[in-house]
Structure 1
Amino acid sequence: MTRAPRRPARRTLALVAGVTALGLPLVAVPAEAHGGAAPPAPPRTGFETSNGARWTTEAEEGSFLAAVDRASDRVGVRTVGTTKQGRPIRLATIGRDASGRGTASQGASGPGSAAPGSAGPASAATTVLLVCTQHGDEPSGREACLTTVRDLAYARDKETLRFLARTTVLVVPTANPDGREADTRGNADGIDVNRDHLALRTAEGRALAALIRDRRAELVYDLHEYDGTSPYYDKDLLALWPRNLNTDAHVHDEARTLSESYVRRAAGISGFSSGIYGIWTDPHTGQPLKQVAGDGQERILRNTAGVKHSVGLLVETRIEALTQAEADDDARNRRRRVTTQLVALKGAFAYVDERRGLLGAATAAARHTGFADRGPVLIGGADNDPAEPAETLQDPPCGYRLDAAQYAEFGDELALHGVTVRRDGDGVFVPLRQSRRALVPLLLDGRAEYRLTSGRPVEAC
């Protein structure tokens, strides 16, 4: 564990309470840096000021992030989308690229060119994207994300500054603002945003797709909560990597390492129980009994991230009271849920710091394999459920042709996914030989369950 900064001799200090998201004490700030006066106190969320008695409101989120943005030159806050009900989808950028250059745009690429962000030199910094509260009735991740933005902005300890010098942290504190306001799982149209990362029917899904396309995060970390079933499915924290079989093997292995060796390990060190999302276990032996969730659907963010060559991870904290004390005190229950999320985030940041070379190598190599245009594409199955022959495109076509009407309807979605197309008569040709090779059949093959449309396979290029 890192030691707290030592108090300098003969110097008056104004201390900032709290810890950074890396688990390090927030810095002691010299009072003379503020003309001898105590520095302004860091802003606090509604959750913090109420000690967990209530969740932070949307208005409080806006004020909080604006205050952090004003106070720190290492933070930039902007709006990357607007919901059906007119609420902003905010992005906070911390670290190497606080200006947020290249963040989401919801326009389409024209035919004949690569989509924005699909090529160009990679940044020397590792980019981490935190997606918080896709489900509006799962708010603990949002609170953890908000305070993480603040704590990284105000940190002065050497370890955190070194981390931020090599890392860009992107945070979407509320990925489903309308759902959070209504305390519903879905958005204003009742759509589950975490089932919309292929079709992109929602403003929320489109904003996240553009972020993933333009910022090419090496790690996409998705914060959720779950309802448990005692005694088979009742851990403080559950986590799961991309199970989709089109995830590059090295990316898959890094995601599993993140889950099992860092996030769950951090939970255990802090006294929280953990498990694999979707798996019921025997309470006596710990052996798996059955799978109730957590498949390889490509439309779910952790899987979409894997198919798009990012290390994706789903994390879930348990909503129900775990003790009588929590049952008697909702604030105690909320504080435990948020604390568990923060502990898991500490593990994720430790992973980035310790394995950034391996993480960067895995994701960079995966982004280039599609240009070789080799190997099957799987339209079903998972890493624990082998694809059936009917779910295996053993010899995929060299691409798919969309007619003018199909491209008019789905061109924007292809662009948001970062898929390259070429003009072909009155329509377009979508080649498999590109970075998003495995994604193309999932979007356009008539056999894919969650396809956008059925393109015409082109067997010879």
Structure 2
Amino acid sequence: MTRRSRRPGRLLALGALAFGLTVTLGATLPAAPAGAAGTPTPRTGFETSHGTRWTSQPEEQAFLAAVDRASARVRVDRIGTTEQGRPLRLVRIGAPAPERPAGVRRGNSVLLICAQHGDEPSGREACLSTVRDLAYARDRATRRFLERTSVLVVPTANPDGRAANIRGNADGKDINRDHLALRTAEARAVATVLRDYRPDSVLDLHEYDAVVPYYTKDLLSLWPRNPNTAEAVHHESGVLAGEFVGPAVRNAGFSTGVYGIWTDPETGEPVKQVAGDGQERILRNTVGVKGSLGLLVETRINPLTAAEQADPALNNRRRVDSQLAAVKGAFDFSGRHRARVEAATATARLAGYADHGPVYLGGADNAPPTDAQTLSDPPCAYRLDAAQLARIEDALALHGLVWRPDPAGGAVVPLRQSLRGLVPLLLDQRAGYHLAVAMPTDDCRA
């Protein structure tokens, strides 16, 4: 049995987006809030240098502390520590700010993950200024948005990599290939946020290297391709990409395309796919399997125009501004499609309790799983022995999976749970990135 190929909805030219959130581009800053007379509005190192350099980590710490002090909408928490001792932070923004994980669910919630790859800094700059703009905005539209939407931000998901300007973390691990195994402190922190807050939408901000003339757009995006993503979640992720983020980026004056697909510069037709598959260990796919909408955005690092080549700061500002435009589109989507999104994510998370239908161990929405990659009749559960459980128990808990003790030792992990599609990906020997080779069992009473 194979799953039919699914693609996002058709692109709609929406024209100028009218939701009106105060997410600024370039060096424009929001007005100071009432009661803050004489207090300077916080600015990032990137902003004060007009894009000639990236914000340092001490500057980020001071910036977030200033925003936290100045705005009752904001909470900044430490959610982990890197190998080199740097803090991993989560910023929570709402009106009022959520007090605890359970309090984040006043409706729709959006999570921004920034700088998973340390040598891709523009998304981090967009996230930092977005935190400040949402915290300080006084316009009615933003206040109304934050009353019904919680915004969660991990501004620097890889602080050690950012400090060294390298892709991986201090151990050379690619965090964006660790969202199943959770062996890195950075991926564990992200998993904790996904488990505790269960965001409806996740925007993962990255950068890419251009390949002239086939791969040169200012900003590319891609939804979850993993075939275990629920139909409605997949569809709404496509709408997010094609009907909101794409038009918002184009309306800001930038070019857009699909990540991982080279296109003919004359015809716009696909030439070949070079990235962007359905790997479940990549964040945009992991969140889809977990029932959240996901979108990867990638801005082009390379300066291609003569002006950008002559002025690196101009190129840096383009990179950040295109990321900000994508964030603006994502917020517009959340505001307009709130009910549809909440229905899609709730349905996806409840479907696992029915314990019905196939689970896919490979494939993608544009490369349907083969019969060998399809569990047409999945087992009721997987049995772990005591040694296996001891080895992966922390990862299971971080994912939010449930299991019960096995009388013979170890544990039984049932498929009948919210994260049903995740269980075989972690425990079946045929899965590409399994954590253990567990024993399938059809004895649901075990």
Tell me what 1:369 maps to: 351
In structure 1, what is the equivalent of residue 13 of structure 2?
none
**Other-structure match for 1:63:** 62
Partner deviation per Cα, 1:273-298 (whole Å, 9 max, x = no partner) = 00000001110110111100000000
> Deviation per CA, 1:174-208, whole angstroms, max 9, x where unpaired?
00000000000000010000000000000000000
Residue of structure 1 aligned with 2:318, choices 304, 321, 336: 336
Instruction: Give the superposition deviation at 1:26.
Output: 3.2
Contact 2:105–2:197 (8 Å) recurs in 1: no
Report the Cα offset of residue 259 of structure 1: 0.3
Q: Does 1:447 align with 2:430?
A: yes
> Contact conserved, 2:179 with 2:286, CA < 8 A, in 1?
yes
Residue by residue over 1:357-386, the C-alpha shift from the partner in whole angstroms, topping out at 9 and shown as x without a partner, is 000000001000000001110000000001
Match of 1:365, SS state, is helix
Q: Does 1:126 align with 2:108?
A: yes
1:416 alignment partner in structure 2: 398
* Amino acid in structure 2 at the alignment position of 1:287: E
* Alpha-carbon separation, structure 2, partners of 1:208 and 1:29: 31
Whether the aligned pair in 1 keeps the contact of 2:222 and 2:295 (CA below 8 Å) is yes
Partner Cα distance (1:365, 1:122) in 2:
19
> Does the Cα contact within 8 Å between 2:158 and 2:186 map onto a contact in 1?
yes
Q: After the TM superposition, which parts of structure 1 deviate over 3 Å for at least 4 consecutive aligned residues? A: 22-30
Determine the structure 2 residue equivalent to 1:110: none
Q: Which residue of 1 aligns with 2:22?
A: 20
Counterpart residue number, 1:162: 144
Pairwise CA RMSD: 1.9
Give the deviation of 1:41 after TM superposition. Answer: 1.8
Q: Take 2:238 and 2:260, find their aligned partners in 1: how far apart are those partners? A: 15
State which drifts further: 319-328 or 190-199. Answer: 319-328
Distance 2:56 2:143 in 1: 30
Q: Which residue is equivalent to 2:11?
A: none
One of 276, 279, 285 as aligned partner of 1:294: 276
Is residue 263–residue 272 contact of structure 2 (8 Å, CA) maintained in 1? yes
Q: Distance in 2 between matches of 1:134 and 1:122?
A: 23
Q: 1:405 to 1:28 in 2, by over 3 A?
A: closer
Pairwise CA distance, 1:22: 7.2
1: distance between equivalents of 2:330 and 2:257? 16
> What is the distance in 2 between the residues matched to 1:29 and 1:153?
9
Counterpart Cα distance in 1 of 2:100 and 2:202 = 18
Q: Find the counterpart in structure 1 of residue 412 from structure 2.
A: 429
2-structure distance, mates of 1:298, 1:2: 33
Q: What TM-score does the superposition give when structure 1 sets the normalisation length?
A: 0.89
Contact 2:426–2:436 (CA<8 Å) still a contact in 1? Answer: yes
SS in 2 for 1:171: strand
Residue of structure 2 equivalent to 1:401: 383
Deviation, 1:56, is 0.3
Judge conservation of contact 1:136–1:186 (CA < 8 Å) in 2: yes
Q: 1:105 maps to what in 2?
A: none
Letter in 2 for 1:439: L
Equivalent residue, structure 2, for 1:228 = 210
Q: Which residue of 2 aligns with 1:438?
A: 421
Q: Identity percentage over the alignment?
A: 61
Secondary structure of the structure 2 residue equivalent to 1:283: coil
User: 1:317 touches 1:341 (CA, 8 Å); kept in 2?
Assistant: yes
Q: Which amino acid aligns with 2:314?
A: R
Residues 391-437 of structure 1 show CA distances to partners (whole Å, capped at 9, x for unaligned) of: 00111000100011111110010010111100112110000000000
Is the CA contact (8 Å cut-off) linking 2:361 and 2:374 kept in structure 1? yes
Superposition map of 1:21-36 within 5 A: 21=23, 26-27=30-31, 33=35
* Partner amino acid, structure 2, of 1:436: L
Deviations 1:36-72 (A, max 9, x none): xx44121100001111010000110000000000000
Which whole-Å CA distance do the structure 1 matches of 2:299 and 2:116 have between them? 14
Secondary structure at 1:190's aligned position in 2? coil
Matches of 1:161 and 1:457 in 2, distance apart? 50
Q: Distance in 2 between matches of 1:222 and 1:402?
A: 33
Distance 1:99 1:164, change over 3 A: closer
Counterparts of 2:55 and 2:97, CA distance in 1 = 24
The residue type paired with residue 159 of structure 1 is: A
**Matched residue, 2:43:** 44
Asked if 1 retains the 8 angstrom alpha-carbon contact of 2:125 and 2:320, the reply is yes
Q: CA 1:330–1:190 in structure 2 vs 1: closer, same or farther (change >3 Å)? A: same
CA deviations 1:200-239 (Å, max 9, x no partner) are 0000000000100000000011000000101111100000
Deviation at 1:79, TM superposition (A): 0.7
Q: Are the structure 2 counterparts of residues 212 and 2 from structure 1 closer, same or farther at C-alpha, using a change threshold of 3 Å?
A: closer
**Deviation digits for residues 93-152 of structure 1 (CA, Å, limit 9, x no counterpart):** 1004624513xxxxxxxxxxxxxx8xxx99232111100000000000000000000000
Give the aligned partner of residue 91 of structure 2.
92
**Unaligned segments of structure 2, at least 5 residues:** 1-15
**Cα shift at 1:25:** 8.0
Match of 1:259, SS? helix
- Which of 165, 190, 195 is equivalent to 1:208? 190
Gaps of 5+ in 1: 6-18, 103-116
Task: Indicate which of 157, 173, 181 corresponds to 2:155.
Answer: 173
Q: Secondary structure at the match of 2:46?
A: helix
- The answer to whether the aligner puts 1:305 opposite 2:307 as a matched pair is no
Q: CA deviation at 1:329?
A: 1.2
Structure 1 residue matching 2:43: 3-state secondary structure: coil
Alignment of 1:68-79 (within 5 A): 68-79=67-78
| Paired amino acid for 1:200 | L
Q: Confirm whether residue 459 of structure 1 aligns to residue 445 of structure 2.
A: no
